[in-house]
Structure 1
Amino acid sequence: MKYKLFLKCVRCNRQSGTKEYNVSREKIKQIVKVANMALRLPQYLICPQCHGLTSVKPMLVTIK
């Protein structure tokens, strides 16, 4: 299965996608855990479009 990880901005709804992952469910859970930890760091929270804070958890999108 292929997955793409997204961070979504709460202010302007802009999604910033990260790279695709072609891995198992267990590995993806690890990646999401790491991404959630990364979201606590301020430099990951600024949206490039409106410069608002991205306070939404990463979303995982399955690419078929």
Structure 2
Amino acid sequence: MKLTKKTIEEFAKVLIRIGEAGFLGSIATLFVSGLSNIISIAGISTSIISISIGLFIFNINDK
């Protein structure tokens, strides 16, 4: 299977969207739910990593 530039770009977009959704969900959980703050902070960290990887893939794909 050959990965085209368009496929890689779509994968990066998906990673960024997943990161955004996770970030918003983690912030909401932090303020609303009685769950442990560690769970929310872990979700925020994972979301930031997902967004960063998506942006990194975009930069590599443009070169």
Give the TM bin, normalised by the shorter chain: 0.3 to 0.5
Q: Please, what TM-score do these two structures have when normalized by structure 1?
A: 0.37
Q: Please, what TM-score do these two structures have when normalized by structure 2?
A: 0.38
In terms of fraction of residues, the more strand-rich structure is 1
In terms of fraction of residues, the more helix-rich structure is 2
When Rg is computed on C-alpha atoms for both structures, the one with the higher figure is: 2
